[in-house]
């Protein structure tokens, strides 16, 4: 397999990002989610560690970034042509989602979690 993710995986990643961001937008518009902290609890994410001020700031950052992460991979891609690559990508995404340090989210607030980011992480971790 080449060093690049197959084109179909890239397309699935881009479509997933758009779906995830739209889903988060509409959940907020409908009032399904009141605060970032509630959204993070509803998603069964671990509690953050840090000072109360850091945690409060990081909760809103994490909620936004989780929406990006959730949108990277479409759920039906698990049944696609590359299930092993899908599983590896989901491991990378879940490792980030489970970061418990408030400072991690604050330090990465400008990072864009998208298909390109995932491809770079995958190449770094798995070499393909």
**Percent of the chain clearing pLDDT 90 (strictly above):** 34
Query: Is the CB of residue 5 less than 8 Å from the CB of residue 122?
Result: yes
- Determine phi and psi for 49, rounding to 5 degrees: -115, 150
* Least confident window among 8-22, 80-94, 105-119: 8-22
Q: How far is CA 47 from CA 58, 66, 78, 100, in A?
A: 11, 14, 28, 6
Vertex 63: Cα angle to 98 and 11 (nearest 5): 85
pLDDT above 70 coverage of the chain, percent: 69
Does the pLDDT of residue 22 top 70, yes or no? no
**pLDDT value for 54:** 95
pLDDT of residue 45: 83
CA atoms within a 13 Å half-sphere pointing along the CA-CB vector of 21: 12
pTM confidence score: 0.67
The answer on pLDDT for 107 being more than 70 is yes
């Amino acid at each position: 397999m080449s060093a690049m993710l197959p084109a179909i995986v890239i397309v699935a990643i881009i479509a997933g990002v758009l779906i995830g961001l739209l889903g988060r937008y509409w959940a907020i518009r409908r009032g399904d989610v009141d605060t970032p902290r509630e959204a993070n609890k509803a998603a069964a994410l671990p509690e953050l560690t840090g000072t109360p001020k850091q945690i409060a700031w990081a909760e809103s950052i994490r909620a936004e970034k989780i929406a990006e992460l959730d949108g990277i991979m479409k759920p039906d891609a698990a049944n696609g042509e590359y299930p092993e690559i899908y599983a590896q990508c989901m491991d990378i995404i879940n490792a980030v989602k489970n970061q418990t340090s408030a400072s991690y989210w604050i330090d990465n607030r400008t990072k864009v979690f998208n298909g390109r980011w995932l491809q770079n992480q995958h190449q770094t971790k798995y070499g393909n």
